[in-house]
Amino acid sequence: MAGPHHESSGFPDDEGADDFVREFRQAVSPADRDMLAHTPPLLILDVAGDDAEYDRRVRRLVEALERALRGQQDAKLVPYALPTADDASALLSGTAARGLGRGMPRHMTPDRLPGFWPLWDSVAYIRAHAEERQAPGAAALRDHAHEQLRLNRQQRREGRVQAALWALGGGESPPVGGLRGWLLGSLWHGVTRTLPRWWWERRRTRRMVRKPRLFRPARQRWLGGMLGMTGDAETLFAVMDEVADRQMARLVLPLDHPRHQESLAALEALLTRALLEDLKAPAIGRWRPLQRRRTARPVLLVQLPRQDRPSAVAVERFLRAFHRERRSTAQSPGPLVIAIGKPSQQLLTDLGSPPVSGLTPAGRLLHQSGSEVVLVRLKEEPFTREGLFIRPTSPATYRVSGRLMTAGAAGGIALALALAGIGAVQASIPDTPENSRCVAGDMPVAGSRYRRPVPLHPKQWYDQTLAEIRTQNRRAEAFAAQGRTVRTVVAFTSNGPTSRTDTLFDGTIPELRGIAMWQRKLNDDAISDDSRVPLRVDVRPSGEGFAHAEQAARKLVDQITGGSQGTGGPTYEKVIGVLGFAQSKEATREALKILEQAGLPVIGTTATADEMLVSANYWPFTPLNSTEAHIAANFASNSPVIARSSGGCEPAERAVVIQSPADLYSKSLADKFRSDFRGTSQLINFSQTSDFSGAPAGTPKMKSAHDLAETVCDALRGSDPTIVYWSARARDFVAFVNALDTQGTCTDRDITMLGGNELTNVALTGEFNDKTWLRLYYSAHRMPTGDGAADNKTKQFVDVYDRFVPGAAKDDPWRDDGHSAVSYDAFHVLSRAADMAVSGQGDLDPNAMLTALRSGITFDGATGYVSYGQGSNMPPRNKTLVLLRQSAQGPKVALACGAYRQDKSDRPEDGACAAQ
């Protein structure tokens, strides 16, 4: 007879469980708060088993993960919820929202979800009155939702003044006759009931449906667009009354009727989108005391019931809605959702049929943007034994209440206002010439300090740089002959330039210059410092635009695994790391996966797409597209960059976004910019090679620069202040600008364009010095040479660059570009890891390099302060990013984000650099 069942506990010790547990804790409460800006995928932990065994395994997983989210005395450490359903009619978004707000850690202000709850209360009212088959009217929905708000505040003991006024106001219907009845009906109820409800509805409408604008059509918000709002006069509850018109007749049908289920799916989608909109941009501390002190990511642990249970329908309906609506919020950070159990085949199909992943890659993807759904099928055997204990997460906590901080802040503000006096009043007047000055000046690109295009000698410059690297390689080999530890790193580049055009649109030459400069410094330092490890550089071209990156990576891996790299020959030929890649493309992303097979650490240079984060051995050096796009969108939305006919500038309210959909970098940057830009946007696809794979259905597709210019000119004829956001490559940008200038139909007024770091390849060469209509902003990764805010390390780098490149101070096209500085600092990272990893016996291999990199690396570099966190292969914390304006006097800083020095504040007051 079998003995009593022993119920094992802990997270199942499946293959890769250690990595997953570590990454799960890091994803929930990372040491670097900036990592909260990344969007984790929907994770499904597929659990096998029948009946009681299935329920036991699901419960075990939930308890193991939940244990990491609770601290002493079972108190929550992070906001999380375990949404469940009783039957097929449940809407899981409501239980999720309630769970996130309950039992918050001490002094951590919970998200109040100001958009979700009015919609939830409206939906609840519609469902409760479905039998009436007649829409309740906007006023009834508003009054019900406002009453629920009052009751919730009363339960939280908030709004005491409002509660007292309500008590004095009497009942809904004032007594007929008498002075008291007249006062209540005519005045008091207007102050205590009608006015607050009207004002509350107006604020909700402004935030969710439309933003009113004087003398212009209203701008649609997310709810207006989702529900097809047609009129500017529609309020939030008028829109919800239209929802009631459509859904009430379906809600009275039997629960198993397809139309009833369609109605529930539509309502779940609406509520889930509202929840994501409220959670998509968490405030991280800053100066407002009662803002959400977000030190951890919200978590939803969703149990998947067995398919024979009615509640399975409700749970899978929520997961479908979450997957679909998160796309609409364009990969905003949002919560981490982990579904635990056996998903139906239909659900997996609706989620895009995700491939099965292991625990190790799934753990890495938890704190990386780019993946939508990750499916892990857990084996049965690990459930038969004890699992891993997940230690509680350790987010930052607060000892002082937000109300006390608010009181202190209010006192400080009152004192400041009293001292400011009349000056503060005058400064608050909007639209003065002072407040509408164009960011970084009112200068066009024309009249660049390069009066003519810079004379370019691509073959000569490329050969000179490679010759310098060969010279430094020989110096390193001489150190090896003396008995020093010397190793080799591989630098993957695109093919060398063969024409002036190649030089304009490819950053290969400045990147190789930065590598050669660091190699020379390393050799110079190694003369007197025995702790330095001299490094050889093996430059390997991988095709035009990295077209052959996969083949180049495969060749290197085959050499290493086949024993022909550094075996049987000089030890200094042993490869211990890789520098690259400079561009985010499908080929370079696949190359990273191949290089991981050899266990080689890879330090990135200027590849910025979040989608490149596919290898645990890859360390990006520059901020990801999600960071850059967020900063660019905030900048365009809030800063005066669009020229007014009356003088000065104003923020952009509309964006025309140009992307090359088949280009990983371009599509990634465009999608993320459109997500974060506060105004409306129009997407246009442009590809001179006619490759439009990945282009959204219904969006324009242009292969001619002339056609693109016509389309953009049409879009610029509206009255809204409009910016052109360019995410495609530099070569296409030059073709577009030239087509605009040739056509001339919209260059009678200034056109503001904003682009990524790709444009630095061409902006400084004098290509646009006759374009008097072009106002060009673009991103870079270090301060310009002449900017006073540049730190000493940057100035020191420029001095070395001027000596390295003869005549650089006069007419070098990349002296103010960031490519050389980025590769210089990236090589510094790899070199520092080598210094840390070498053993006392002089041995050094890739595994030791990986260990050194994961322990964290920090230094002041040419691009500012570089600080890689421990145990994370994300870009350096608070990495520098600059938005420049190209002017007649050269590039001017429009916005600087990141830590240029260790002690420098990296959050400007305007908030454009704030994390997502």
Q: Residue 108 in 3-state DSSP? A: coil
Please give the pLDDT value at position 436: 72
The reported pLDDT for the residue numbered 187 is 64
pLDDT score of 224: 76
- Looking at residue 646, its pLDDT comes to 72
Average pLDDT on 11-37 reads 85
Q: What is the pLDDT of residue 645?
A: 75
% of the chain residues with pLDDT over 90: 41
pLDDT value, residue 913:
81
Higher pLDDT, 33 or 236: 236
Most confident by average pLDDT, 167-171, 209-213, 486-490, 739-743:
486-490
**Where residue 189 falls among pLDDT bands split at 50, 70, 90?**
low
Confidence grade of residue 859 (pLDDT, cut at 50, 70, 90): very high
pLDDT (mean) for 463-479: 95
Residue 177's pLDDT is: 53
> Cα(505)–Cα(497) distance, rounded to whole angstroms?
10
The predicted pLDDT at position 227 comes to 76
Nearest to 117 by CA among 95, 94, 99, 100: 94
User: Is 80 exceeded by the pLDDT of residue 884?
Assistant: yes
What is the arithmetic mean of pLDDT over 465-494? 95
Q: Give the pLDDT mean for 268-288.
A: 74
89-122 pLDDT per residue, tens: 999 999 999 888 887 766 566 677 888 999 999 9
Confidence of residue 239 (pLDDT cuts 50, 70, 90): confident
CB atoms within 10 A of CB 692: 16
User: Over 50: is that where the pLDDT of 346 sits?
Assistant: yes
pLDDT in tens, 552-598: 999 999 988 876 554 557 899 999 999 988 999 999 999 999 999 88
**Each residue's pLDDT tens digit, 715-727:** 888 778 999 999 9
Rounded to 10 deg, the angle between the 236-251 and 258-279 helix axes is 150
Compute CA distances 811 → 453, 468, 758, whole Å: 9, 21, 20
| pTM: predicted TM-score of the whole model, two decimal places | 0.63
Quick one: what percent of the chain has pLDDT higher than 70? 80
Note the pLDDT of residue 402: 56
Q: For every residue of 685-711, which 3-state class applies, written as one string?
A: EECCCCCCCCCCCCCCEECCHHHHHHH
At 487 the pLDDT is 96
Q: How confident is the model at residue 7 (pLDDT cuts 50, 70, 90)?
A: low
pLDDT given at position 805 = 87
Provide φ and ψ at 867, rounded to 5°.
-145, 100
pLDDT reading at 435 higher than 60: no
Averaged pLDDT of the chain = 83
Q: Among all chains, which residue has been given the structure tokens 């992070």? A: 78
Q: Report the pLDDT averaged over residues 433-443.
A: 71
Kindly indicate the confidence band of residue 424, based on its pLDDT and cuts at 50, 70 and 90: very low
Selected residue with higher pLDDT from 370 and 267:
267
Reported as a single tens digit per residue, the pLDDT across 48-75 is 877 778 989 999 999 999 989 987 667 7
Closest by CA position to 20, among listed 68, 55, 81: 68
| pLDDT-derived band at 607, boundaries 50, 70, 90 | very high
pLDDT at 573: 92
pLDDT value at residue 755: 92
What pLDDT is stored for residue 373 in this prediction? 92
Count Cα neighbours of 752 within 13 Å in the Cβ-side half-sphere: 29
Residue 445 vs residue 134, higher pLDDT: 134
Q: Contact at 8 Å (CB) between 141 and 122? A: yes
Name the pLDDT band for 527 (thresholds 50, 70, 90).
very high
Per-residue pLDDT, averaged over 656-672, amounts to 94
Bridge partners, 684 (sequence order): 658
Distance of alpha carbon 723 from the chain centroid: 21
Contacts of 121 (CB under 8 A, 6+ apart): 144, 145, 148, 149
φ, ψ for residue 42, nearest 5 deg: -75, 120
Per-residue confidence band for 405, with pLDDT thresholds at 50, 70 and 90: low
Q: Give the gyration radius of the chain's Cα atoms.
A: 30
Quote the CA–CA distance of 81 and 98 in Å, as a whole number. 8
